[in-house]
């Protein structure tokens, strides 16, 4: 999978930018605020219909403009080409097109042009609340399986309905009656999602442990996920036990939407005890695992987007990670594309981070976001 060309109009700080990419490696460099990360953000948005930096799409519109437009030309390993465009105005009107045909649902993009982003903007995965980790894994598994995605959407629809009952102003008796009706589909859909999630999580964890061992056999890293409910009967029982708590809190306090995944470094939660460098290494190994996992599950090699990789890492760790990423890519039978951003191109050259540096495609961005 690769992107050949990206066009951006009024996207973030880019007034009008058109950029070509090498099918192998492209380095985008420039000072902070020049719009490097925005290029990766645009590619991600074209792949999944959403930014990895913000949920507020007005943030994506350049100041002084009333819309943004981005378009990318993609090609997979079978030379199947597709063009995706995404636009939105200041009022929130949004249009996504694949080969000039409007699509109504963002999920129609999933699996078409896969990308993996490794960015400081995603540090919430290891540092943040359980929501970051649920969203991270739900996104991966949804790309791999429409069945998983549809189960997730159905569960979310059910939980939304159940929460609306808990929040309404009806009498306690009326709420109890409504919950009796909705608790059964809530449990059926929840258990269905849980079972699918457990299968994917076990596969991901096995691959993560192998990836860590291949990178450094002396590292003691782990991912823990425990599914406590195994049957519909147990789910329904727990839901009824929690009903009083739910009525008081006015939201559903138990279910797949409350899952957490625990990341461990030397048997301690990295969220509480990890240094900046340890968080970066753990996130990098998660992302490398994600890259391999998506390749295996979808039979498509994702585009690897690496943002400011050398922040919070010393030279030796940076080199080691890059060499490992190169090895993973070379082990893959299909060609793969990597796009890297950096503020210091001289540092990359002098420290020998890449072989044949002079032959690598490079784009220099200046402060106004133009190449």
pLDDT tens digits along 173-227: 899 999 999 999 999 999 999 999 999 999 999 999 999 999 999 999 999 998 8
* Assigned domain for 198 exists: yes
- The pLDDT of residue 30 is 85
- For the segment 34-48, the average pLDDT, to the nearest whole number, is 93
Domain co-membership, 288 together with 142: yes
Strands (DSSP E) found in the chain: 2-11, 14-20, 25-29, 67-75, 81-89, 94-98, 101-103, 115-118, 221-224, 262-265, 268-269, 303-307, 338-342, 361-364
Domain co-membership, 65 together with 194: no
Mean pLDDT, the chain, as a whole number?
89
Compute the half-sphere exposure of residue 189: CA atoms within 13 Å on the CB side of its CA.
20
Question: At 363, which CATH number?
Answer: 3.40.50.300
Domain co-membership, 358 together with 318: yes
Band (324; pLDDT cuts 50, 70, 90): confident
* Assigned domain for 54 exists: yes
Contact between 347 and 313 under an 8 Å Cβ cutoff? The reply is no
Domain co-membership, 284 together with 170: yes
- The pLDDT of residue 103 is 94
Domain co-membership, 291 together with 307: no
Domain co-membership, 42 together with 102: yes
Domain count within the chain:
2
Contact between 111 and 49 under an 8 Å Cβ cutoff? The reply is no
Contact between 345 and 310 under an 8 Å Cβ cutoff? The reply is no
In tens, the pLDDT along 106-161 reads 889 998 899 999 998 899 999 999 999 999 999 999 999 999 999 999 999 999 99
- The pLDDT of residue 369 is 52
Q: Which of 250, 269, 296 is the last residue of a domain?
A: 296
Domain co-membership, 102 together with 129: no
Domain co-membership, 260 together with 195: yes
Domain co-membership, 249 together with 148: yes
* Assigned domain for 275 exists: yes
Q: Which domain holds residue 6?
A: 1-114+300-371
* Assigned domain for 262 exists: yes
First and final C-alpha spacing in the chain: 24
- The pLDDT of residue 312 is 66
* Assigned domain for 119 exists: no
* Assigned domain for 48 exists: yes
- The pLDDT of residue 293 is 96
pTM of this structure: 0.89
Contact between 110 and 116 under an 8 Å Cβ cutoff? The reply is no
- The pLDDT of residue 327 is 83
Domain co-membership, 75 together with 201: no
Instruction: Give me the percent of the chain exceeding a pLDDT of 70.
Output: 92
- The pLDDT of residue 331 is 77
Q: Which of 264, 296, 328 is the last residue of a domain?
A: 296
Band (315; pLDDT cuts 50, 70, 90): confident
Does 370 have pLDDT greater than 90? no
Domain co-membership, 109 together with 146: no
Q: Which of 271, 296, 321 is the last residue of a domain?
A: 296
Pairing of strands 14-20, 2-11: antiparallel
In tens, the pLDDT along 252-308 reads 999 999 999 999 999 999 999 989 889 999 999 999 999 999 999 998 899 999 998
Question: At 233, which CATH number?
Answer: 1.20.1050.90
Does 330 have pLDDT greater than 90? no
Band (342; pLDDT cuts 50, 70, 90): confident
Domain co-membership, 151 together with 272: yes
* Assigned domain for 250 exists: yes
- The pLDDT of residue 121 is 87
């Amino acid at each position: 999978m690769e992107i050949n060309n990206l066009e951006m109009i009024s996207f973030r700080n880019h007034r009008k930018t058109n950029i070509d990419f090498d099918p192998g490696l492209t380095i985008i460099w420039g000072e902070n605020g020049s719009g490097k990360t925005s290029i990766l953000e645009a590619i991600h948005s074209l792949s999944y219909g959403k930014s990895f930096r913000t949920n507020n799409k007005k943030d994506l519109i350049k100041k002084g403009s009333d819309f943004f437009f981005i378009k990318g030309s993609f090609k997979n390993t079978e030379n199947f080409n597709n063009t995706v465009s995404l636009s939105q105005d200041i009022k929130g009107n949004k249009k996504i097109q694949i080969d000039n045909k409007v699509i109504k649902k963002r999920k129609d993009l999933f699996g078409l042009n896969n990308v993996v982003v490794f960015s400081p903007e995603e540090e919430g995965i290891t540092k943040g609340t359980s929501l970051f980790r649920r969203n991270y894994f739900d996104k991966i598994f949804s790309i791999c399986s429409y069945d998983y995605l549809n189960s997730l959407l159905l569960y979310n629809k059910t939980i939304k309905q159940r929460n609306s009952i808990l929040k309404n102003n009806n009498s306690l008796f009326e709420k109890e009656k409504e919950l009796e009706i909705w608790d059964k589909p809530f449990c059926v859909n929840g258990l269905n999602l849980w079972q699918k999630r457990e299968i994917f999580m076990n596969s991901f964890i096995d691959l993560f442990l192998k990836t860590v061992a291949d990178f450094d056999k002396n590292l003691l890293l782990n991912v823990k996920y425990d599914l406590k409910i195994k049957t519909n009967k147990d789910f329904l029982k727990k839901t009824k036990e929690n009903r009083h708590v739910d009525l008081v809190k006015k939201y559903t306090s138990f279910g797949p939407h409350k899952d957490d995944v625990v990341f461990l470094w030397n048997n301690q939660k990295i969220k509480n005890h990890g240094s900046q460098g340890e968080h970066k290494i753990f996130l990098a190994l998660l992302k490398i695992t994600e890259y391999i996992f998506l390749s295996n599950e979808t039979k498509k090699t994702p585009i690897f987007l690496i943002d400011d990789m050398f922040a919070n890492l010393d030279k030796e760790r940076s080199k080691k990670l890059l060499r490992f990423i190169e090895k993973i890519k070379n082990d893959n039978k299909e060609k793969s594309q990597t796009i890297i951003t950096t503020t210091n191109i001289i540092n990359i050259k002098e420290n020998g981070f890449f072989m044949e540096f002079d032959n690598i495609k490079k784009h220099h961005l200046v402060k106004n976001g133009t190449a």
